Amino acid sequence: MDTALLKKSLRSETLKRRDALSPDYRSRAADAMADQVGEFGIAKGAVVSGFWPMRTEVDVHPLMAAFAEIGARICLPAILDRTTIVFREYTPDGKLIDMGFGTMGPPETAAVLDPTVMLVPLVAFDNRGHRIGYGAGYYDRAIAGLHAKGILPRLIGVAFDCQQVDFVPNEPHDIRLSEMLTESGLRAFEPG
């Protein structure tokens, strides 16, 4: 099976498992993840990018609030066009606008920030730190853009345990995660 078909199949199977989780379970898991914020070792003033959850993704609002509580600056991705996202500063009481795909984000008036820590959404992941997203490549391009600026953000995938698969086929443009946060805890991947 070619890489694109394998990714499509893994995406479909994993989304079915994630969608089968009850709302109550997803809520408890999100709270459990937020309770682990002390394990991250995030410095006050660090810029952390979160994301507005789509469909049955982990609700990272409690986690973003916990980071803000310890003094991190929070930003959310803003879709500029079909290939580009930037990260705009997010405040819980700030205005949000529709970003498409069922997501919300800060308006153009919000400051654009370069995150040093990124909470990365995903559909599936493996124990090597490779991930499958929704297929548009926004995050791979955004991370590559940060790398081009000399910024090497800490990449933390956020998902439920049921989203782990045996193997994610990777291509040269795919950027590995350094860590993974699930309801079971935060774990680092071996450098590859």
Q: Provide the CATH topology of domain 3-188.
A: Rossmann fold (3.40.50)
The answer on pLDDT for 135 being more than 80 is no
Q: Across residues 137-147, what is the average pLDDT?
A: 89
Residues 106, 33, 54, CA angle at the centre, nearest 5°? Answer: 40
pLDDT: which is higher, 102 or 62: 62
Instruction: pLDDT band for 82, please (50, 70, 90 cuts).
Output: confident
Per-residue DSSP letter, 55: T
DSSP-derived secondary structure letter, 182: E
Looking at the predicted structure, is the pLDDT value of residue 190 above 90? no
- Kindly report, residue by residue over 176-189, the tens digit of the pLDDT: 999 999 999 999 99
pLDDT of res. 1: 64
d(CA 164, CA 42): 25
Partnered with residue 88 across adjacent β-strands are 76, 112
When pLDDT is cut at 50, 70 and 90, the band that residue 192 belongs to is low
How much is the pLDDT for 191?
A: 76
Q: Give the CB-side neighbour count of residue 115, counting CA atoms within 13 A.
A: 28
What integer pLDDT is reported at residue 56 of this predicted model?
Answer: 95
Q: Which alpha helices (H) appear in the chain, and where do they start and end?
A: 3-19, 23-34, 61-69, 138-148
* Between residues 109 and 1, the one the model is more confident about: 109
Domain ranges of the chain: 3-188
User: pLDDT (tens digit, 9 = 90+) per residue, 18-39?
Assistant: 999 999 999 999 999 999 998 8
Give the 3-state secondary structure of residue 191. Answer: coil
Mean pLDDT score across all residues of the chain? 92
